[in-house]
Amino acid sequence: MSERPFIAVTFAVLTVSDTRSLEEDKSGATLVERIKAAGHEVAQRDIVRDDIAAIRAKVNSWSQDQAIDAIITTGGTGFTGRDVTPEALEPLFEKRMEGFSALFHNISAEKIGTSTIQSRATAGLLNQTFVFVLPGSPGACRDAWDGILKDQFDYRHMPCNFVEIMPRLDEHLKRGAGQVV
């Protein structure tokens, strides 16, 4: 059996923060560095304030860009009044990825113990684009990439990975928008 080839995926990285600039954004920089080190592309990187409309507008726009396969947001997943990233994005998800949150919390608990419960990390599909909502710390971004996303976006990872299912994410659209026949 021959080894599968590497297939590069294109990402967009969005930092959600009222206080950081792109120059000061260690979490976004951590993600970009790891994505590129894994051999993937970063097509877009931006920062928006903790504002539901702004977060939705940016992520929705990127999800409609055929050149972007996955979006990773960092920031706004806590419990303070300004933390609204899950509220902004979860209602838009066509499919939720419950396993991502569970696995993220398992990995996080090994590093920070029970403090992991202060994160509302989540993920799902929007316009056939993977969207991952991560906490705003560089450590959480490293944990999510190194512990989950790096393997799932590597076509060579077995027994399964996101890359191999990407061509089939829009099957329901080709067969009548998911109508039961």
Residues 6+ apart with CB under 8 A from 32: 13, 42, 45
> What is the tens place of the pLDDT at every residue in 120-154?
999 999 999 999 999 999 999 999 999 999 999 99
CATH architecture of the domain 10-174 equals: 3-Layer(aba) Sandwich (3.40)
Residue spans per domain, the chain: 10-174
pLDDT in the model for residue 29? 98
> What is the tens place of the pLDDT at every residue in 4-30?
999 999 999 999 999 999 999 999 999
Average pLDDT over residues 50-61: 98
What are the structure tokens assigned to 167, written together? Answer: 């061509």
Radius of gyration over alpha carbons of the chain, in Å? 16
Of 3 and 161, the structure prediction assigns the larger pLDDT to 161
